[in-house]
Amino acid sequence: MIGYLPASGSAVADTLISGLDRTITWNHPEEFFAASSLDLEFEAPIKPDRLIVKRASQAGMDYLVMFENLNIASYLPTDFENDCIDESSEIVESCFVQAGTHDFDADGLPEIILAVGDGFVNLQVNVFSYHPPARPADAIRTENWELIGNFSGQSKVVIKGKSVIIPFGSQGLEQKMVFIDRSFFEIDH
């Protein structure tokens, strides 16, 4: 059984994204395998209960989705490549992870958002959609999770309704992505 520890650090100081429904941070805890844990609320017969962010032995980071009633876990198919990730897929000490949920389409299956950044100029955001399986035996299929958004910018990303606003550059520029028909589209604003 995996032990759960509360997120380390200050939630106010350690945020890369604002506007999430639920959120946690993971901030290089003193105990090597200490985890940050987020309770998930999905409206589906076969649903994940908890998201766990922790260091993995010799393999970077784990982003685990636990199905506690089934006593199984699956991995989110993350796609992070920025200055906050080293050669072994570990988060460098000047960076941290923020995880959370937001139901962009109000379907009862909130999207899971993972952000890796330093709180200043390096930020990458992954957004995952959950496709509930028909049978409990299929709960750990990789097809249940789809990476529907992969955005880069600078802190702080703002989530508002169906929009993700990503700042970049030193001139106050931003990219606005809107969730329409299960996909993100860039719009001019």
pLDDT digits (tens, 9 = 90+) for 17-52: 999 999 999 998 888 788 999 999 999 999 999 999
Q: Are 136 and 126 in contact (CB under 8 A)?
A: no
Mean pLDDT of 158-169: 93
Taking the C-alpha atoms of residue 124 and residue 149, their distance in angstroms, rounded to an integer, is: 10
The phi and psi torsions of 136 (rounded to 5 degrees) equal -55, -35
Query: SS3 of 143, please?
Result: helix
Taking the C-alpha atoms of residue 4 and residue 109, their distance in angstroms, rounded to an integer, is: 23
Please tell me whether the overall predicted TM-score, pTM, comes out greater than 0.85 for this model: yes
Condensed to tens digits (0 to 9), the pLDDT of residues 81-127 reads 889 998 888 899 999 999 999 999 999 999 999 999 999 889 999 99
Integer-rounded Cα Rg, in Å, for the chain is: 16
Residue 33 carries which side chain, given as an amino acid letter? F
Q: Are 166 and 151 in contact (CB under 8 A)?
A: yes
Cα maximum dimension of the chain: 51
Query: SS3 of 165, please?
Result: strand
Q: Are 17 and 23 in contact (CB under 8 A)?
A: yes
